[in-house]
Chain A
């Protein structure tokens, strides 16, 4: 599978990458903010799954997701963020997020979140 990873923390992106590569022979491309993430999504897609942080410079994750959803309704997106309040989660889901993981999370939690999202997507298609 091909993953797009968008987070302003390189360490966080590396953690994601390690978890994703432990799952199998997956490809990852990463971006350091929403603007870059959007550009990569449009230019280097299609992707099988997106992992997106909320709070980032230049363009935040929510704005990026809204822009992506204008053109693409189906690519699954997991928001991985420190934003844990219920209204924020609802806001994200309204914007088109498929799954939501609150930081701090364990590698196992991320792994099962990805697997759950993949399974749901497969069931739909």
Chain B
């Protein structure tokens, strides 16, 4: 501790220069002196004396007057500095467990363990973080009245990654996706990468961007993506829906519960016991066994097997082995757009009902129109309403027909009435084309192509040997499923 001495007194000054303590210089008692004299004695030290310090000097002088050795006495005190508080980052999003900032549990927190996701999903425009600036403290003052500088606060350090922007100290997401926030860096990723399995540690996934799973998707978990889904391992009895493509490098083991849907293409090693829907092609390397499979594109299993289940391949089928030696029932529909079929099955009864209603209304209004002069004002108003109703009902029926027509036009570009078997095809396989259906009665060797063709004026399914070009008809006839003819009649105005 620095010491400053006068002839009679010594002043000890604390290291932080916030305290000055007065004591007697040496061991012998100095002569009595007044407080004023003491102040004059220490005046060269230029201490900043306040009221309390002066009172203590008076007490010190009083002790000396009593010829007693006074205890060291604090005669000057500075004000310590109040340091700035560093800037902070406030979390503005809610975690799946609750409010990130307050730690409060979310009221509508999901019940199912499958739904407990650790992925922090955010939406474009959502505020994520707020940068709170450093809080300003106050400079101090030492015992000489000189300022003691406070420590300045640091701004919170945050670097901005992809898909975020900073505005008025608030960080916003600029895209839908997964929030990645480490405390120092924030970004929103439109690709969700799961390093391991999709299991209870991850929970169900519902993501706007692409999803990549490094290992497997376990039983009963759900993945939904507005883009593509890629699974490097296998998919078990899970529900995986991608608006884009679905790629599974292992295989898909549906166990009767699996549901695999892609707006685009599905590509995998094998698919067993699953429901499969694809907006485009389904490409499988090894086998498709016992699946309810509908694709708007082609089904291609060029080095593998298709057996059992039910298959609708709008864009045709190309397969190595079709059916099995055990003659397993393997129905295959090609060139048929299931979307058109479903649309027809939905709108046809609606159209029928609208037309029936319109007809009923017309039957009421027509006699009124024939006899207008006899109608009173109220009846005339009513007749207008009825007339309008019948027009409106017919309009609505017409709109539904247009809806069906646009699906039909769209489906034309997908449809290919062709089955190509590169290896073998076995009995148990049945074909259904838009107008024909046929069965395989004995095993046939490929490469062989099945297509509808007019033979002696009658449409039949013919098998064309791809090597020799020779062809023969298989057992076939008009299809028993006549929805397409009915749909065409509806569209051409014949029904």
Binding site for B on A (CB under 8 A): 9, 11-12, 15, 18, 55, 82, 84, 102-108
Contact = CB atoms under 8 A, between A and B. Distances in A.
Contact of A104 (B373, B376, B380): B380
Nearest to A7: B381
B377 A11 contact: no
Contact of A105 (B368, B373, B375, B387): B387
Contacts of A15: 384-385, 388
Interface string B156-173: 000000000000000000
B345 interface: no
A114 B366 CA distance: 24
Nearest to B369: A104
B303 interface: no
A55 B391 contact: no
Nearest to A108: B391
Contacts of A103: 377, 380-381, 383-384
Nearest to A85: B373
A89 to B, nearest CB: 15
Interface residues of B, number: 18
Contacts of B384: 12, 15, 103-105
Given A9-B381, A12-B381, A84 B387 contact: no
B387 A104 contact: yes
A107 B372 contact: no
8 contacts: A12-B385, A18-B392, A82-B377, A82-B380, A102-B380, A103-B383, A104-B375, A107-B391
Contacts of B388: 15, 18, 106-107
Contacts of A18: 388, 392
Given A12-B385, A84-B372, A104-B387, A55 B377 contact: yes
A25 to B, nearest CB: 19
A107 B394 CA distance: 12
Contacts of A106: 387-388, 391
Find the residue from A18, A102, A103, A104 having the highest chain B CB count within 10 A: A104
Contacts of A9: 381
Given A82-B377, A82-B380, A11 B372 contact: no
Nearest to B385: A11
Interface of B: 365, 368-369, 372-373, 375-377, 380-381, 383-388, 391-392
A52 to B, nearest CB: 15
A103 B388 CA distance: 12
Nearest to A104: B383
Nearest to A80: B384
Find the residue from B365, B373, B384, B391 having the highest chain A CB count within 10 A: B384
* 8 nearest CB pairs, A to B: A104-B383, A82-B377, A82-B380, A104-B384, A103-B380, A15-B388, A103-B384, A107-B391
B481 to A, nearest CB: 38
A102 B383 CA distance: 11
A106 B365 CA distance: 11
Contacts of B365: 104
B77 to A, nearest CB: 78
A104 B369 CA distance: 8
B377 A104 contact: no
Given A104-B368, A104-B369, A104-B372, A82 B381 contact: yes
A89 B474 CA distance: 76
A55 B383 CA distance: 16
A84 B377 CA distance: 10
Contacts of A84: 372-373
Contacts of B386: 104
A72 to B, nearest CB: 28
A84 B372 CA distance: 10
A108 B390 CA distance: 12
A107 B373 CA distance: 20
B361 to A, nearest CB: 12
A55 to B, nearest CB: 6
A108 B391 CA distance: 9
Given A15-B384, A82-B381, A104-B375, 6 more contacts: A18-B392, A84-B372, A104-B368, A104-B383, A107-B387, A107-B388
Nearest to A105: B384
